[in-house]
Structure 1
Amino acid sequence: MIGLLHPDARLVDAANGATLGGLTLRDRVADHATALDREPPGMVLAGMPTTVDAVVRFLAALQAGRPIALVDPRTSVERLTELADRFRPAVLLNDAEPVPGYHSGWDRWLGEYQRRTGEAGPAPHPDLALLLTTSGSTGSPKLVRLSRAAVLANTAAIGAALGLDGDQVAPTSLPLHYTFGLSVVTSHLRVGATVVVEDNPLTTRDFWSNMDRHRITSLAAVPYQYEMLRRLRFDPARHRRLRTLTQAGGRLNPDLVEDFHRRMAAVDGRFFVMYGQTEATARMTVLPAERLPAKLGSVGIPVPGGAIVIDPGDGTETTEPGRTGEIVYQGTNVMMGYAETAADLARGDDLGGVLRTGDLGRLDDEAFLYITGRTKRIAKVFGTRVNLDDIELSLAQHGPVAAVAGPDRLVLVVEGADDDRLSRIRTEVVAALGTHSSGVLVRGIDALPLTAAGKPDYRALEDQC
């Protein structure tokens, strides 16, 4: 299983307390891997609900040497059909209705699944282990191709950066098809820790009842969850063993960083700010908890085995303090490249361990990274990347609309709109993106500012956000 599952690792079903660990867990994974071995060769496309069985299937695919693509379990049959047509997986593991070109089957370990009946796709590259989607609801998602070495390297690096060990207990507080949520699982299983598989949102009473029952020690969350926790007056003193909080998935406002650092410090706990991309398996930098609040606004230093340089756009790469430019990350955890069709799955490493992130940033005199913006018209809303031009096109019927990236949110500026139209636009976009409503801000303006070329002046709009 590419060295991912420690002999002492445990999975706990929060709903009923059932535990899989030690030899029992390893045998269960092996049984699932044997079931996959009986299927025709090729990639596995799997819906990834937050269940113990889904985690076991994921581990089994890795053990069987099967590249596995993880998607939102709520993915429609139309989208699954489109993905199956493009990537031609050998096996579909999902609860959706049958996809054309696939035959339904049942297995003791895999449950209901679908096997491809048509021509098989090209054999995947032998280094390929994991495929994750890059985009949300705008356009056809590309798949990020991650090697076994990348998965292993990043789980080890995260464990080292956070000081994880076998005494840790972490819940699944984020979706498992999302790179941050999946990395919580893999990094804890790697060190022999316990993962509590919990499907309730962390804003519910059931979530916290289960977490206290299972004595969680750490919690991972994205910015909007921290905003909710502050509204709910989260107090770590009420949870005796919870002493580590981690944050990634977009920029967290500095006042919230300082607030949660203060809350955790009051109980001798730790608050870690992190920066990552799916293209780097999960995480690229970690801000050591003890460097807050002195390094407020920074996302930290590279994880072990990683390095960062800045490309100012003049043909050089530098680590000189204060120079602003594109952030370039180097490390074993960098993806092999993107895949848009089945043929791409057979390709080798396109990037050689170097990732141009598309983010702008600078280093300080201690090589701590500060992110200052984006190089392209892409917004990141709670970890989901959104093409701003696609959003504008989809809203054309509402009149002049400009889309810009605010701090971890999408900001839509609508010309000459009344409150009712603004509300309708917000509802439409939130539904299309499948995101939390706090990630979309819509406001009216008498007239959009324009450049000399007659195009929306996005820089002027961003300055107002």
Structure 2
Amino acid sequence: MIDAATGAALSGAALRARVDEAAAALLRAPAGLVMAPTPISVDGIVRYLGAMTAGRPIALLDPGLPADTMSELVTRYEPAVLLGDTGPDGYRPADLPALGPAWLRERSRGTAPHDDLGLLLATSGSTGSPKLVRLSRDAVVANARSIAAALGIDGDEVAPTSLPLFYSYGLSVLNSHLICGATVVVEATGIVNRSFWAAVNDHGVTSLAGVPAQYEMLRRLRLDFGRHPTLRTLTQAGGRLRPELVEEFAARMAAVGGRMFVMYGQTEATARMTVLPPDRMADKPASVGPAIPGGELSVDADGQVIYHGPNVMMGYAENAGDLARGDDLGGTLATGDLGHLDDEGFLCLTGRLKRIGKVFGTRLNLDDVERLASGLGTVAAVGADDRVIVWAEGGTEPACSDTAGALSERLRLHHTGIEVRGIDRLPLLPNGKVDYRALEVLQ
């Protein structure tokens, strides 16, 4: 790992020593869950790797959570070890320097977490007090190896931390590179900052992972890939990227001898489940690719995508008692996404089971509505009382009005059932996805 802020490198025996120190500290602490607000930092990564090495289940959380939300999570999940500057009632300071500021629960829980439990992450769409996804250590390792194989990651690759580490996609980038002996540049400022792109050049970054909102930002920045000669691989997941942007970024990378991978994943499958090879993008532009190595895809009678593989979660947790549960799913995940497979096993997604709005008794797939309105640019559709509202980033009143008319005609609905509104910027969750719940409040 390279700390972009200081240029300090931590690798080989030195990295192993730091991780082992963190693991030893956790093994001296009372048994149970470790709860860790996790910023993008070398120390945060070392604590995570230490927990995995020690066999201690760790929950990686957004360090920006409000204090009352964090307090509720502590109450619900009763961690034995809480990392961070402030400890709540019932916790005492820990003398464990390798972990940084830490707090120990004064009373132990009667029920221990399951032996296979390694990692807990918040579901990507959650706000407030999220339920957590229970992942085994084996699932984390299996997904890291599968992604490394699908993307051809080897020891020469260099990837920056362009996504939060408490988000499954961002953590997957870390895992899939470290497991191959590749380099991770720990950069916390984000892709819109000059310091990020300086780090890309200074440390020879070879790949960049992003979600749709970040690719929209890169387009607005008019990033010139020719100025970053080592960057030759883009990966995209975390939601559907507009087809025209997929085509644009794939072409821009091809022009400098690079490549772009489109992927599909969920936190419930540790991270990524499919990868579309760059050389198939031209003949399968609507696809997210076949299953990753070790995984399988099927579609049930309702059109729901089913994923089978060793990276599937053990199940959800909503309280401390759930941490003791074993594997509830047996390697099979009903994704909640709608789609179909072609004759080569390539997946095409068509919507979400629960992304449905009802207008005058007619059910509308909100993902389909977004696709129909994508001519406005970046849009998000939400259901309201007997109507659908489409929010268009930077949309002008005339353009919104024209789009609303075209949508009502295309969907054969009365014009009062479709409303298109402009918004300066769509609200985003910490992982870069659209915050649909925030948009519902704006109605």
Provide TM-score, normalisation by structure 1.
0.80
Structure 2 equivalent of residue 332 of structure 1 = 310
1:435/1:339 CA distance change after superposition, 3 Å: closer
How far does residue 148 in structure 1 lie from its aligned partner after superposition? 1.2
How far does residue 94 in structure 1 lie from its aligned partner after superposition? 2.1
Residue among 357, 364, 367 paired with 2:345: 367
How far does residue 119 in structure 1 lie from its aligned partner after superposition? 3.5
Report if aligned partners of 2:147, 2:176 keep a CA contact under 8 Å in 1. Answer: yes
Q: 1:375 is aligned with what amino acid?
A: L
What per-residue deviation string (whole Å, max 9, x for no partner) do you get for residues 313-367 of structure 1?
A: 3xxxxxxxxxxx1000000000011111111111111000000000000111221
1:196/1:17 CA distance change after superposition, 3 Å: same
What per-residue deviation string (whole Å, max 9, x for no partner) do you get for residues 95-129 of structure 1?
A: 3x322221233432111111111342521111110
Confirm or deny that 1:411 pairs with 2:381: yes
Report if aligned partners of 1:403, 1:411 keep a CA contact under 8 Å in 2. Answer: no
2-structure distance, mates of 1:103, 1:111: 14
1-structure distance, mates of 2:250, 2:425: 36
Report if aligned partners of 1:285, 1:303 keep a CA contact under 8 Å in 2. Answer: yes
1-structure distance, mates of 2:155, 2:273: 23
Report if aligned partners of 2:156, 2:182 keep a CA contact under 8 Å in 1. Answer: yes
1-structure distance, mates of 2:354, 2:420: 27
1:274/1:206 CA distance change after superposition, 3 Å: same
How far does residue 409 in structure 1 lie from its aligned partner after superposition? 5.8
Report if aligned partners of 2:238, 2:433 keep a CA contact under 8 Å in 1. Answer: no
4+ aligned runs moved over 4 Å, structure 1: 402-405, 412-417, 422-429, 433-443
Q: Percent identity?
A: 56
1-structure distance, mates of 2:237, 2:339: 16
1:242/1:31 CA distance change after superposition, 3 Å: same
Q: 1:328 is aligned with what amino acid?
A: I
How far does residue 60 in structure 1 lie from its aligned partner after superposition? 0.1
2-structure distance, mates of 1:366, 1:146: 30
2-structure distance, mates of 1:34, 1:124: 19
Q: For 1:1-400, list aligned pairs within 5 A.
A: 11-95=1-85, 97-120=86-109, 122-136=111-125, 138=127, 140-313=129-302, 325-377=303-355
2-structure distance, mates of 1:413, 1:68: 36
Give the secondary structure class of the aligned counterpart of 1:19: coil
2-structure distance, mates of 1:256, 1:185: 25
Give the secondary structure class of the aligned counterpart of 1:32: helix
Structure 2 equivalent of residue 7 of structure 1 = none
Structure 2 equivalent of residue 460 of structure 1 = none
What per-residue deviation string (whole Å, max 9, x for no partner) do you get for residues 204-236 of structure 1?
A: 111101111011000000001111111111222
1:351/1:437 CA distance change after superposition, 3 Å: closer
1:165/1:435 CA distance change after superposition, 3 Å: closer
Gaps spanning 5+ residues in structure 1: where?
Answer: 1-10, 314-324, 379-387, 390-401, 449-465
1-structure distance, mates of 2:128, 2:49: 30
Report if aligned partners of 1:77, 1:99 keep a CA contact under 8 Å in 2. Answer: no
Report if aligned partners of 1:121, 1:343 keep a CA contact under 8 Å in 2. Answer: no
How far does residue 434 in structure 1 lie from its aligned partner after superposition? 5.7
1-structure distance, mates of 2:382, 2:271: 29
1:365/1:163 CA distance change after superposition, 3 Å: same
Report if aligned partners of 2:124, 2:267 keep a CA contact under 8 Å in 1. Answer: no
1-structure distance, mates of 2:22, 2:434: 40
What per-residue deviation string (whole Å, max 9, x for no partner) do you get for residues 295-317 of structure 1?
A: 1111001000000001123xxxx
2-structure distance, mates of 1:270, 1:245: 6
2-structure distance, mates of 1:429, 1:121: 45
Number of residue pairs matched by the alignment? 398
Structure 2 equivalent of residue 430 of structure 1 = 427
2-structure distance, mates of 1:210, 1:242: 11
1-structure distance, mates of 2:65, 2:178: 27
Give the secondary structure class of the aligned counterpart of 1:92: strand
1:366/1:137 CA distance change after superposition, 3 Å: closer
1-structure distance, mates of 2:47, 2:248: 39
2-structure distance, mates of 1:86, 1:223: 33
2-structure distance, mates of 1:429, 1:238: 30
Give the secondary structure class of the aligned counterpart of 1:41: coil
1-structure distance, mates of 2:105, 2:32: 10
1-structure distance, mates of 2:87, 2:379: 36
Report if aligned partners of 1:409, 1:439 keep a CA contact under 8 Å in 2. Answer: no
How far does residue 414 in structure 1 lie from its aligned partner after superposition? 6.8
Gaps spanning 5+ residues in structure 2: where?
Answer: 359-363, 372-377, 390-395, 398-418
1:40/1:217 CA distance change after superposition, 3 Å: same
2-structure distance, mates of 1:37, 1:197: 26
Report if aligned partners of 1:70, 1:132 keep a CA contact under 8 Å in 2. Answer: yes
What RMSD in Å do the two structures reach over aligned CA positions?
3.0
2-structure distance, mates of 1:273, 1:65: 33
1-structure distance, mates of 2:231, 2:201: 9
Provide TM-score, normalisation by structure 2.
0.83
Report if aligned partners of 1:403, 1:413 keep a CA contact under 8 Å in 2. Answer: no
Report if aligned partners of 1:135, 1:142 keep a CA contact under 8 Å in 2. Answer: no
Q: 2:138 is aligned with what amino acid?
A: A
1-structure distance, mates of 2:432, 2:144: 28
